[in-house]
Structure 1
Amino acid sequence: MESELRDDNERGAPDGGLRTMTLEAYADTIVPGEKRFADDRAIAGASTGGGAVQAGALDLLQWDATGIHDGLDDLVRLVNEHAQTYAAEHGLALDPAVPPFVALEYPHRAALIQRLTKPGHPEKEFWVLLALFCNMAFDSAAHLNTAQAMAEGHPGLSAMGLTQPDDDGLWRFEDYSYGRKFARLHPDTTSTGSPA
């Protein structure tokens, strides 16, 4: 499998590649979405609407700002090894046409991730970190410009009900959350809202 992973990465991880499919399957298990096309193997289709994959989890995971991008190949290898072990323990036959983790049905993917993130698992920190970044792609679109993400219909920001910005790309709120202003504007405040 290591040579397959190396070949996949040398080809630039095409959409059907081992690395891409495995990371997408992991992200989809954390925040499920609907299949992009009928024979989509990475996305299990456990939910409707867009999930972590459609929210750009793969882009966020591979972004160098995360600090985990250099370790993704190891995580892909490890989660597939864990999937093979899990399948053997449960008597599951895995489709050899896809990576072992991708071959697992959604309930088994979820059970395996639950095992890997359980307190006491020696690799827990890695799997929790990977899950946090998958959530972050959906919850905050941290890798995208927020106004642009909203304009493009980002599934997570839309699901949370984030409103569109004003025409200039800024958000303004006419109604205060408590129904009133907390304080008067200081007289020395500049037009940009900074203290003088």
Structure 2
Amino acid sequence: MTIEAFADTIIPGEKRSPDDRAIAGAATGGGAVTSGAIDLLEQPGGGLAPALDALAVSLNDHASEYAQKRDLVLDDDVPPFVALSFADRTELVQLLTAPEHPERQMWVSLALFSNMAFDSAAHLGTLDALAAGHPGLLSIGYFRPDTDGVWRFPQFSYGRQLADIHPNTTTTGSPA
């Protein structure tokens, strides 16, 4: 729940249900959590999976300290970071990722994975992510392939053709 709340602070989304405490509901549509941030973080290839429990403990320790310094009373029914308001979560994350913070590297890494889940669906195949309605890819305007599964773009992304197609390119778009 704590790591979900962190990911939601990086790219906010709407609550999954009215009693959702991890997602603050600071934005409409899906954010990092519904884009699969936890799934991505738990994959062994990223290197953070073994550290997630320790990161959650550390983040909650920072949240308790943050709340104490500001005389905030936190709800004991959820972890301290989750109990913070979205504005306080955001301020704490800004402090933890500041250039002068000694733990900056690990918090920036956690934030980068939250971003990757949203803007590239790095833990999913692109076709599968789009078929499932991945909120990040759809919100950044990622085009779906044509019905035959091939991506074609009727208009050039820069508004003009940048180069001629190589004469040895096959009809499938592969170089010969």
State the TM bucket, normalised to the shorter chain: over 0.9
Per-residue deviation, 1:180: 4.4
Would the alpha carbon gap of residues 160 and 78 (structure 1) be closer, same or farther in structure 2, given more than 3 Å must change? Answer: same
Q: Partners in 2 of 1:48 and 1:181 — Cα distance?
A: 36
Letter in 2 for 1:101: F
Identity, % of aligned positions: 60
2:110 aligned with 1:148: no
Q: CA RMSD, aligned part only?
A: 1.6
Structure 2 residue aligned with 1:103? 83
Q: Which has the higher contact order (CA 8 A, sep 6+)?
A: 2
Q: Partners in 2 of 1:29 and 1:178 — Cα distance?
A: 32
Q: Partners in 1 of 2:25 and 2:111 — Cα distance?
A: 18
Per-residue deviation, 1:53: 0.6
Q: Secondary structure at the match of 1:47?
A: coil
Would the alpha carbon gap of residues 188 and 139 (structure 1) be closer, same or farther in structure 2, given more than 3 Å must change? Answer: closer
Per-residue deviation, 1:172: 1.0
Among 124, 127, 136, the residue aligned to 2:104: 124
Q: Partners in 2 of 1:100 and 1:178 — Cα distance?
A: 47
Among 6, 13, 19, the residue aligned to 1:39: 19
Q: Secondary structure at the match of 1:59?
A: helix
Per-residue deviation, 1:132: 0.7
Q: Partners in 2 of 1:178 and 1:42 — Cα distance?
A: 39
- Name the TM-score, length of structure 2 as normaliser: 0.93
Unaligned runs of 5+ in 2: none
Moved over 4 A (4+): none
* 1:44-123 alignment, distance < 5 Å: 44-123=24-103
Unaligned runs of 5+ in 1: 1-20
- Name the TM-score, length of structure 1 as normaliser: 0.84
Letter in 2 for 1:130: L
Per-residue deviation, 1:177: 3.0
Would the alpha carbon gap of residues 188 and 77 (structure 1) be closer, same or farther in structure 2, given more than 3 Å must change? Answer: same
Would you say how many aligned residue pairs link Structure 1 and Structure 2?
Answer: 176
Q: Partners in 1 of 2:18 and 2:117 — Cα distance?
A: 24
Would the alpha carbon gap of residues 175 and 71 (structure 1) be closer, same or farther in structure 2, given more than 3 Å must change? Answer: same
